[in-house]
Each structure stands twice: as C-alpha cells, then as structure tokens.
Amino acid sequence: MKGVESMSYNLNNADGVVNVSQQVIEVIAGVAVQETEGIAFTQDDSKLQEKQMVKLVKVEDEDGAITVSLSVHIKYGMSIIKTAGKVQERIAQDMENMLAFQPKAVNVRVIGLLKG
C-alpha cells in the first residue's frame, strides 16, 4: 500500500536477532484464536478473511517487549476464564515455537458470547 509503513520487530533469541513483520505476529495470534475451541473474533468467523482478522489483533512493542491484545467472543456456557486462558497459552506457545520468542503479555478482552 502506498504511504503505509509496515511495522517490524527485532526479536532477540539464543542465535541472534530475527526481524519479523507485525503482520506475522498478528496472523499467529489470529490463527490461534481460530484453532481454539469455543472462541472467535466475530459471531461467524467462517467468513473472516486474513486481512480482516489481522485488524482485530493489536501488537505493541514496549522497549523490546511485545504485547498482543485482542477482542473476542466466547461460546455461551463455556468457562470464560479457562477459554481465554487457553487462547493466551496457545498464542504464547505458537510465538515461542515459530519465533523462539515469548510475548510480554497476551491480553484478551471478551466482548460478547457466541450462540450455541
């Protein structure tokens, strides 16, 4: 896109520094949400495209520490605390596996419930 600069992050690991675009981190978090049972970005994530999904994930860098924040819906009847905790663990684990880097925090904001 003309005039739009993509953010990137230098992630330090045991082997050196890896430069990763913000969109990569957003996709990792988005896929984790889609693959966690009972949680979704919208009432119908089946129609959600990657471009729309990454807009629902916020990545912030504070002195080299990355925080991932997202707003989600949780299926009615499921434990909100446990389900949100599962996606937090999944995002942190996926970032560790794919980037050899742990986020400082994964903040989950529950904004609604999914119907049955």
Asked, for residue 88, whether it belongs to a domain, the answer is yes
pLDDT at residue 88, rounded to an integer: 98
Residue 53 tokens read as: 């999904």
Q: What is the CATH number of the domain that holds 27?
A: 3.30.70.1350
User: Mean pLDDT across the chain, nearest whole number?
Assistant: 87
Asked, for residue 105, whether it belongs to a domain, the answer is yes
Kind of pairing between the strands at 16-21 and 8-13: antiparallel
pLDDT at residue 8, rounded to an integer: 87
Read off the pLDDT of residues 71-116 as tens digits, 9 standing for 90 and up: 999 999 999 999 999 999 999 999 999 988 899 999 999 999 998 7
* Domain housing 53: 8-114
Q: Quickly tell me which residue has 């904004």 as its tokens.
A: 111
Running DSSP on this structure, what letter comes out for residue 59?
E
Query: What is the count of structural domains for the chain?
Result: 1
Contact residues for 54 (Cβ-Cβ < 8 A; gap 6+): 23, 26, 27, 30
Asked, for residue 33, whether it belongs to a domain, the answer is yes
The span from the first CA to the last CA of the chain, in angstroms, equals: 39
Give pTM, 2 decimals: 0.85
